[in-house]
Amino acid sequence: MVEHIPIPLRRAQVRSTTVQVGSRAASHVARRSDSLAGMGVPELASVDGAISPTTEATIPLPDDGLYRGDGVFEVIRLYGGRPYALGEHLDRLERSAAAIELTVEREPLEREIEALLEQFGDREAQLRLIVTRGGRRLALTEELPDKGETVRLATIEYTPTIILTGVKSLSYGANMHATRLAQARGAGEALLVRPDGIVLEAPTSTIFWANAEGRLRTPELDVGILDSITRRRVVEALEVEEGSYPLEDLAASSEAFLASTVREVQPVTGLDDRELSGPGPRTTEAQEAFAAVIAREVG
C-alpha cells in the first residue's frame, strides 16, 4: 500500500528577535541524539565561527532559513573526528546553494569547520553544516543516530519538487513526515515512490536492490533523487544498473539495502508486507566495498 503525503504551505509572520539553537526550555521536544544519550559525544555549535555548546548557541532573527526553510545543509560522518568526503560535501553544498541563488562563503566555513573539529576531538559522530538565507554559517557536531543493524521500509507516495530536485535544502518537512508515516505503519523508514509507481529513494538515503538474476540496481538521478556521495561510491565500486524502475521490480527483489553517509550500507529486511532475506550476498559485497572506501579515504 502506498500512502500519499499532503504537503500544506503556509506563510509566516516574522519579527526581529533571537533564537536559541538548542534551547533547554524546549526540553519537551525530543532531540535526535536522545536514543544515544550518555555516550559522551559533545554537541558543539559554530555560528559564524563562534563555538559554544549547542544548547547555548544563538542565531539572530529574522532569518528565512528558519521562517521558510530557505537555505541548504549537509550531514557528514565523522570517523575518529575526521570528516568523510568533506570536499565533496562542500562542493554539493555550493551546488545546492547556487540552485536557489544563495551565496556560500566557503573559505570562512572551512576555517570554522577546522576550528570546531579541533575542539571536538577524535570521536565517532556526525557533522551538520547549514547556510541560511539570512547569511548564517552553522556547523554542529551531533551524536550518531541509532539506525539499527537492519531496517524495514514502507512505501510512501511522493512527488518531487522539480525546481529543488538534487538540492539539499532546509525544506525537508515532507521527507521527515514520510518517515513518521512509515513508522506509524510499523516500519523503520519510508521508501519514496512517485505517483506513477517509479522508485525514488528513502528520505535521507539511496535504495539499492538485487533483481531475480542477482543484478544490482538503483534509481538513476534523472528520476528525481539526490546525487548521494555514498551512492556514487557504491556505483563506482560495484557493477550497478541505473534506471527508472517501477516498484514491482524492487518488490520482486531477492535483497535490498539503503546507503548513506550516516547509515553506510544497511540491509533491508522487509518492504510493506513482504519479507526480504537480508543481508544477502550483494549487500555483503556492498558493505565490504564501502568499508574499503572508508579505510582508503579516511584511514
Separation of alpha carbons 75 and 81, rounded Å:
14
Residue tagged 584511514 (cell numbers): 299
Separation of alpha carbons 34 and 52, rounded Å:
20
What does the pLDDT read at residue 39?
Answer: 53
SS (H, E, C) the chain: CCEECCCCCCCCCCCCEEEECCCHHHCCCCCHHHHHCCCCCCCEEEECCEEEEHHHCEEEECCHHHHCCCEEEEEEEEECCEECCHHHHHHHHHHHHHHCCCCCCHHHHHHHHHHHHHHHCCCCEEEEEEEECCCCEEEEEECCCCCCCCEEEEEEECCCCHHHCCCCECCCHHHHHHHHHHHHCCCCEEEEECCCCEECCECCEEEEEECCCCCEEEECHHHCCCCCHHHHHHHHHCCEEEECCEHHHHHCCCEEEEEECCCEEEEEEEECCEECCCCCHHHHHHHHHHHHHHHHHCC
Domain-wise residue ranges, the chain: 17-142, 151-297
What does the pLDDT read at residue 6?
Answer: 39
| pTM for the full predicted model | 0.85
108 Cβ contact list (under 8 Å, min separation 6) = 48, 49, 137
C-alpha cell at 100: 536557489
What does the pLDDT read at residue 8?
Answer: 34
Bridge partners (DSSP) of residue 208 are: 257
Q: Quick one: CATH architecture of 151-297?
A: Alpha-Beta Barrel (3.20)
What does the pLDDT read at residue 109?
Answer: 98
C-alpha cell at 183: 513508522
What pLDDT tens digit does each residue of the chain (299 aa) get?
A: 444 443 333 323 333 344 454 433 333 223 333 333 335 799 999 999 999 999 999 999 999 999 999 999 999 999 999 999 999 999 999 999 999 999 999 999 999 999 999 999 999 999 999 999 999 999 999 999 999 999 999 999 999 888 998 899 999 999 999 999 999 999 999 999 999 999 999 999 999 999 988 999 999 999 999 999 999 999 999 999 999 999 999 999 989 999 999 999 999 999 999 999 778 999 999 999 999 999 999 97
What does the pLDDT read at residue 125?
Answer: 98
User: Is the domain 17-142 a CATH 3.40.605.10 member?
Assistant: no
Separation of alpha carbons 298 and 215, rounded Å:
29
Burial class (CB in 10 A: 0-12, 13-18, 19+), 87: exposed
Is 290 within 8 Å of 259 (Cβ atoms)?
A: yes
